[in-house]
Every structure is written in C-alpha cells, then in structure tokens.
Structure 1
C-alpha cells in the first residue's frame, strides 16, 4: 500500500506541474509522435524497394514495429533515467533519496515519470490492430493475456538493461556515452533478426536481448509456421525476469558503493 500511495502522490504532482505548463506537455507528445512516425515512414520506404525483408512482408514488419512501441512506451514512462548521473550523483540528490524508507530505485523512477510516453504505446496498439486486419490473423481472447504477458516481459528487459547501465554512474563519474549507444542498438530489435549475420543475431538474442522486446514476442501472433523466431516467444517473460534481476543487483551494489556527492 505504501508504494501504491507513493505512486499516486507522484502522479498527482506530475499532473499539477503539467497543468501549469500545458504547452510543454503537448509539445512533448507531438515531438514523440513525430519521431515514431518518421521511424514508421522509414519502414514503409524500405518496402517501396523490396517486396519482403528476410522473408517478412511489409504488414508483418509494421506489426512488429507496433508491438515494439508498446513496451518501449511503458518503459519510457517509468524508467526515464537519462540524466541520472548528473542529477543524482554529481548534484548529490541521491543523498536525499537514501534518507527515505521506500526503495531508492522506486523513488528515482517516480521522480522521473514521463506519462506522455504512453501515447507511443497507444499508437503501437493502433498499428498492431491495423496490421492484424491486413494480415487476416485469427483472433482468440486467449491472445489478450498472452499479449499482456509478453509486453510485460519486454518491459522488464528494457528496465533491467537500462537500470544496469544507469548504475554505472555509481562506479564512474566520467560520462560513458553508453546509453545513447544502447538506444541505437535496441532499435535493431524491431526488425526480423534473420536479416543479420549469426554474430549479431546471437548478441541481440542472448547478450543484449533486444530481439525479445520486438520481433521475437511479436512473431508469436503472426502465425509463422516453423519459424525459429516464434518458437522463442514464450521465453520473453523468463528473459525479462532474468534481465531485471541482473539490473536490480547491479543497482543495489552500486548504491552500497555510493558515498555521497563529495566522494
């Protein structure tokens, strides 16, 4: 109940702030939609020059992109930690966080909530629905809880990976530039991984498992018979739990190492 009440209080404070600066809120939403729209346009342009991509049709790749947007929007809402090192380590705000009873990661994520990112998730659902109709896929109500489960697994993968990378700030004050690099790598997960060579496929599946945030779980719904990718889809929640457990472990170890802003 403590964590639920904290979440509600932080959400109310966010709403009060944005009601004061409404233009900023809508500019943020619009810029995010434009960015996602450009990515979709890029996919459509690619298919103007080829009928398929690694054996995947245009509608299938667009469906994967729609799925990719959903967990990323949820992740972006609750794990927007891009400026963690500067704000909490360099400026010492982590000292304030550690004086409170709630878990420090929970507090940091709530302080950096970005609800407009959920608009991207909504757009992703719409894209999937349109592609679903174009592909003529059968619909079963059982697919709804499966969709929720796979999306949750993908969110945990994002959260675990970026929590671990953010925790690097506890070990080094020097900017690493690794978060922008990882952001670029994650985008490979929205394309069929069979278009990459074996080394990249292995990395995207088992080392930096971004294939599990897009193409692999999305393939579960595409009815691709005998496809090796879709056979891995049910592992998404497992990979998510493992990734988040690793991320949380790295974070907790980093917090124990933290000695204050002057250290």
Structure 2
C-alpha cells in the first residue's frame, strides 16, 4: 500500500511539471508515435516484396508488432533507467535515495517514470485489434486474462534485462554502453524467430530472451501451427520472473558495493 501512495505522489508531481510544459509533453508523444509508425511502415514495405516472412503472413507479423508495443510501452513508463549512471552514480544522487526508507530501486523507478509511453501501449492494442480482425481472431474473457498475464511476463523480461544492465553502474566507474546495444537487439523480438539461424534463436530465447517480449507470447493468440512456437508463450511469465528476480538480486548486491559519491 505504501508504494501505491508513493506512486500517486510521484505521479502528481510529474503531472504538475508536465502541465507547466505542455508543448514538451505532446512533442514527446508525437515523436514516440512517429518512431513506432516508421517501424510499422518498414514491416509493410518488407511485405511489398514477399508474401510471407518465415511462414508468417503480413497480418500475423503486424499482430506481433502490436503486441510488442504493449509491454514495451509499459516498460518504458516504469523502468526508464537510461541515465542512471550519469545521474545517480556520477552526480551522487544515489546518496539521497539511500537515506530514505523505501526500497532504492522503487524510488528510482518512480522518479523516472514516463507516462506518455503508455500511449504506445494503447496504439499497440489498436494494431492488434485491427490485424486480429483481418485474421478472424476473436478474444473472449479468458483470452484477455491470458493477454494480461503474458504482458506482465514480457514487462518483467524487459525489466530484468535492463535492471541488470543498469546495475553494472555499481561495479564500473564509467557509464556502460551496453544499454544502446541491447536496445537494438530487443527489436529482433518483434519478428518471427524462424528467420534467424539456430544460434540467434537460442540467444533470443534463453540468453537474452527478447523473443518473449513479442513473437512468442503473441503467437499464442494466432492459433498457429507448431512452427510458430506458440507453445513457448506459456513460459513467458516464468522467464520474466526468473530474469526479474535475478536482476533484483544483482541490483541489491551492487547497492551493497556502492560507497557514495565522495572522494
């Protein structure tokens, strides 16, 4: 309950700040939508030159992309940790965070939340509805519940990977450049893994499991054959919990190593 109250207080402060600079808010929203729109256009352009991609139709790939946007929007809203090393390690704000009773990671997450990213999740839902209608898919109450479970699992996958990367800042004196590389790798999760070779499929499934933030969970709703790996979708919450738990342990160990910003 205390964290819900903290969330509400931080959200009110965020809203006050954004209402002061409304133009910046809408520019950020528009830029995010344009970026996601370009990715969607790229998929459509690809299918101008081929009828299928690894056995997937255009509507199926667009459906996967729509799903991909939902957990990514939620992740970007609550786990915007891109400037952690610069702000909290180099500039010493971690000292301030550690003097407060709430868990340090929760404070950092709340201080950096980015609600406009939720609009991307909404657009993802719209894309799924449109492409799902083209595929003749129907969603019942149990499907909605399963969707929520899989999305939570996908968000935890994102969180686990990026929290672990962020925690490297506790062990290194300089900001790491791994996050931009990982950001590029995550985009592989929105395409059918069958188009990659066995090594890349293994990495995207079990080492850096970005296949569980897009193609695997989305395939659960496509009523596709076994070649689409829809059965792996059920592992999404498990993979998310495993990676998020491991990342939290790694983070807590890093915090214990932190000695402050003083010389």
The two structures have a TM-score, normalised by structure 2, of: 0.99
Q: Which residue of 2 aligns with 1:135?
A: 135
Determine the C-alpha separation between the residues in 1 that align with 2:138 and 2:86.
Answer: 49
The offset of 1:227, in angstroms, is: 3.1
Structure 2 residues not aligned, in runs of 5+: none
Structure 1 residues not aligned, in runs of 5+: none
Superposed CA offset, 1:215-254 (max 9, x none): 0000000000233510100000000000100110110000
Q: Which residue of 2 aligns with 1:76?
A: 76
SS of equivalent residue, structure 2 residue 226: coil
Matches within 5 A, 1:185-200: 185-200=185-200
Aligned pairs, number: 263
The offset of 1:2, in angstroms, is: 1.1
CA contact (8 A) 2:86 2:175 kept: no
Q: Which residue of 2 aligns with 1:215?
A: 215
The offset of 1:176, in angstroms, is: 2.4
CA contact (8 A) 2:219 2:228 kept: no
Q: Which residue of 2 aligns with 1:149?
A: 149
Cα RMSD for the two superposed structures: 0.8
Determine the C-alpha separation between the residues in 1 that align with 2:225 and 2:164.
Answer: 36
Q: Which residue of 2 aligns with 1:113?
A: 113
Determine the C-alpha separation between the residues in 1 that align with 2:59 and 2:137.
Answer: 11
The offset of 1:174, in angstroms, is: 2.0
Q: Which residue of 1 aligns with 2:89?
A: 89
Q: Which residue of 1 aligns with 2:259?
A: 259
Q: Which residue of 1 aligns with 2:159?
A: 159
Q: Which residue of 1 aligns with 2:243?
A: 243
SS of equivalent residue, structure 1 residue 74: helix
Superposed CA offset, 1:184-235 (max 9, x none): 0000000000000000000000000000000000000000023351010000
The offset of 1:37, in angstroms, is: 0.2
Structure 1 runs (4+) deviating above 3 angstroms are none
SS of equivalent residue, structure 1 residue 14: helix
Q: Which residue of 2 aligns with 1:234?
A: 234
Determine the C-alpha separation between the residues in 1 that align with 2:14 and 2:83.
Answer: 18
Determine the C-alpha separation between the residues in 2 that align with 1:133 and 1:115.
Answer: 29
The two structures have a TM-score, normalised by structure 1, of: 0.99
